């Protein structure tokens, strides 16, 4: 199993019941993983709900430009995800500007 994928999935599972301090720690850990986390996070964003979904979206925005290609690809494959991908891409470009 991919050694990067395992902690990402564990972090996402922990978010379900995390208090704000733990949530912030997990968000920072995911951002620190960086580009390697992007494919898993984009895939997860299409299935997670609620607070976890918002955190995953924020992590992708914070990771930045390297998230864009994965978001575009996911939007092409999943039309229901297109508006979310476009929103995040706009946010990433706004942060980078």
Write down the pLDDT at residue 1: 43
Q: Would the CA dihedral through 34, 4, 27, 51 be positive or negative? A: positive
- Whether 46 and 78 have beta carbons less than 8 Å apart is answered as yes
SS3 (DSSP) at 56: helix
Q: What average pLDDT score do residues 47-72 get?
A: 95
Q: How many residues does the chain have?
A: 97
66 vs 63: CA distance, rounded Å: 7
Instruction: Give the pLDDT confidence score for residue 20 in this predicted structure.
Output: 93
User: Is residue 96's pLDDT more than 90?
Assistant: no
What value does the mean pLDDT take over residues 37-59?
95
Could you tell me which residues come within 8 angstroms of residue 7 by beta carbon, excluding any fewer than 6 positions away? 29, 33
pTM of the model: 0.90
Out of 2-11, 18-27, 67-76, 84-93, pick the least confident.
2-11
E-strand ranges in the chain read none
């Amino acid at each position: 199993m991919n050694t990067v994928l395992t902690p990402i999935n564990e972090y996402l599972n922990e978010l379900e019941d995390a208090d704000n301090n733990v949530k912030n720690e997990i968000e920072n850990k995911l951002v620190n993983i960086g580009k390697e986390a992007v494919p898993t996070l984009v895939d997860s964003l299409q299935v997670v709900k609620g607070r976890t979904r918002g955190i995953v979206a924020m992590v992708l925005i914070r990771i930045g430009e390297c998230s864009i290609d994965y978001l575009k690809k996911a939007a092409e494959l999943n039309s229901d995800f297109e508006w979310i991908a476009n929103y995040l891409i706009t946010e990433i470009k706004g942060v980078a500007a």
